[in-house]
Every structure is written in C-alpha cells, then in structure tokens.
Structure 1
Amino acid sequence: MAIFVILFLVLFLILIFQIIRLIYFAIKKKELSKEVKKTCIVFLCNIFAFILVGITVPESTKNAIKKEEELKKKAKEAKETKKKVDKEKKQVKLASQDDLKYEVLKNSRDTSNLTKKENTIDILVKDNISEENLKKVMRKAGKEQIKDADILFIRAYGDKKFFNLGGETHGMITYYPDGTVKNETYTAKKEIPSDKEKDIYIDYSKTLHETLKSKGNYTKQEEENIEEKINKKIAKKYGISPEEVEKIFDKVVIYQGM
C-alpha cells in the first residue's frame, strides 16, 4: 500500500509540474483565454483533491478492516467461551449422574423376624462420592430395592475389597416403604487410600486375624509380639519399612470408619 501511494504521488507530481509549466508559458505569452485559465486552475484543484483522497481513503479503509477483524475476533472468542462453559456444565451434569449409580453386592432377608420382612442390601458406590450424592444414591437404592420388604437396611461401600471385612465404609440407613429414612449414617471420604495402601492394610488385617484365631488363647504381650512379627513380614513383602506399615494401617482404619 505504501509503495502504491508513493508511485501514485510521483506520477501526479510529474503531471502537475508539466501542467503548471504549460500554464506558465501560456499566461506569459497571453495565448490562453480567461475561461481556459479558469478551467486549468479548477483542474489543478481537482488533481490535488484526488491526491488527498488517494492518500486518506486507503488509511480509513485499513482502519475499518482492522475494526471489523477485531469485532470478528471478539465474537469468535465469545462463542468459544460459551462453548467451553456449556461443555463444562454438561460434564458436571454427567459426573453427577454417574455418582448416582450403584451396584448391589448382596441382598438378603432376615428370616428370624416372623412379624416383619426385613431385608439388608450391600451396595457399591463411588469411592470419592460427595456426602450430598451419597445421601441421594442411598435413598435411590432404598426406593428401588424396598420391593415387598417392610424394612430395608442399606449399607454402602466405596470399594469391593472391604465388603465382608467388618463394617460398611460409606454409611448405612434404614429405609421404609413410605420413603421414611431413619438411623442415617453418611461417611463420605475426604482422603482415599491408594489401592496399594488398601492391599497392605487388608493383607495385614487378614494375616493377623488368622494368626490369632489359630493360636486360640494368648496374652496381651503375645498379641503385641505377633503384631510386631506380622508388621515386619508385611513390610518386607511390600518393600517398605515397618513404620510405613503402621502409618498405612492408621490411614486405612480412618477410611474404613472403624
């Protein structure tokens, strides 16, 4: 654009110079009439105006194009932002729906109660489920699983590894056919042990339980000696120190809610 303007000016300057020169000689020799002189002057003014427009129009056009590009850019950014927000909302909604899914691990009936039908179900929920969604999913399970029972006890677990280990990890409620909920206990987890930490805890607990069971009678000191021996055995098995085994044990005990 700049080169074009320069060439444009050079050409017109040459033209103007020639015209001025022509008029000069014509006036000096008095060979042109007043009307012709007037026409030449107007012609010169028009040429100057044309040059001025030729310089200013491209600049204004450039500004207009730049402004239009900026508006398009802002519109595109706004569209992308809206698209991103909508996507995040959709993901949150899907995640929330996923939290409300559960798996029935066991459904049993207590036949000792001859007056009422009492059922107990153990369900698996997401390990990192929030307390709000934990309440929702347990009530949902109650509504869907109550069927012909008069009372339904619902126990929730976040990991199948802890099923039948003694105590539900994520809570328990008592559900009735009319939707009433009693004895509510919800234990959503703030910190979840890794799979390896869970395995170490379960391995330690089962080994200790089986060892003490096989021994039968034992003193407090004997129990402590057995615990220390198993601690070292588990530490060696998993390539960690006995102190780390103790820390993992305490961490998982808190997770299990014991």
Structure 2
Amino acid sequence: MTTEVPAVPEACRAVLVTPSMIEGTRVPKAVPLSTRLQKRGITVENAESGLTHHSLLYNLSSSQQDKRQSQHNPPRTEAMMKTKILACALLVLTLTAGMAFADPPPQTVYNLSKETLEAIGSDPVVVEAVKAQNAKRMTMDDIHAMDEKWKKTQGIADYMLALMRSELGKHLLELQDSMNYCTNIFVMDNQGALVGMIEKLPNYWIGDRDLFKASFSQGAGAVFLGDVDYDDWILAYKCPVSVPVVDGEKAIGVITFIINIDEFEM
C-alpha cells in the first residue's frame, strides 16, 4: 500500500527529511560488493565470509561520513534558520489573511439606523428611481445576464457610470457628503438589481445577499444590520446597514449604507 505524503508549502520543504535522504547506497550487481565498498573508502569486515550484501557489516571511514553528512545535512546557519522561520510566518499570515472575524454592530449603529437611515427609505428621489426601475419588469434571465457582463467588465463601463451619474446617483453622493462615516451607498430594486450607487460594486445583482433579502423581506420591509468586519481596502472596520425603500406601506426596494465604524465613533 502506498502512503500519500501531504503537499508541503515550498518555503517549509527544506526543513523536512525525505526517505531518500536516509536510504543506504544501492550497489549494482555487476561489480562485486567488496570492490565497490572499498573504492568508496568503506572498510569491509568479513567480506570473504560468504555473507550477502544485506547482512554484510561495514563501517564508513570518518572522511566518507563527513562527506555524506554534508551532502544530506547542509550547515544550518543562524541566518538560514531565521529566513525559514520568517518564510513560514509569512505563509501563515497569507493563509489567514482572508479570514473574517466578525462582531455584531455596536448600539450606536442600531440607533443610527432607526433615527437617521430608516427615514431615507422614504426619500422622494430614491422612491421615484426605484419605482421607475421596477416598472421595467426585468426578467431574472436579463438580470443574471447583466450580472455576468458586469463581473467580467474591467474598470467602470458607461452602463456602470450611468448608475453613478443619474439623478439618483448624484443624490446618493449628496447624502454621503452629509454623512462622512458612509463609505458607500447603493440602491436596489424589488429583485435586488442595482438602481444607483456611489462606487462600483463587484456585482450588479445583489438579490441573493442577506443585506437585500432580510431588508426587503418579500415586501414587508425591515431594517438589517450586518456584522462588523475589517476592510483591507479602507483599512477600517465597517458594517452594512440596509433599510427598505417604501412606497406607502410596502417595501419596493432596498437602500444600503456601508458604515465606517471608526469614523462614526470618533
């Protein structure tokens, strides 16, 4: 049965001892064993006693031992060991860089959502833009097709800029200017497709995310606060807050605010 050895990161392979490093020397059958060993500086005991090469006792000369040891176990200087330790430490940091350590939002963000952000869901500019988008009655096939196109597009295309430079996009920018703790604001229709934004998002369709589903709540509407996590791009802790866009008593879409916790609590 063959035992599979797990893959080892390149930076750490040098500290491992492989089976090939501790195997004995293989002697070809075409040359007598005693001759082969003597040519390599090996003192043979009882070589003529009829013993096979499996049971033959031999000793390596001190020079041969030193030579073989230096080949298989190169000197480990202090600098080399420090380099290996640093490489392994960097490897651990790389593997854990994408881990998210999320915490619930502080009470101050809950208060903000109820006292300030929820009312923006009834803002006339936001409501009218969402109603106009919903009136287009886009199919989910059309939305998914746009989402795929969106994700494959490098940079900011004209159809993305249209969501940023529209009346709604400009209005969102004005809202952000009055709330310096907001890093982004975006609006979605009743299917989770983007209607307006300040900065480009990774996706056009956000209907599968909790920040849409929990807030839209199939038309019932609810305030949603996501977990606080660290954003490597803005180098700060952030938290999404979604409130329903309402027309009368019914939710017709969702508006999401990305709150920079560090800026908000200063």
TM-score (norm 1): 0.24
Query: Highest relative contact order (Cα 8 Å, sep 6+), 1 or 2?
Result: 2
More helix by share: 1
Work out which of the two has the higher radius of gyration on C-alpha atoms and give 1 or 2: 1
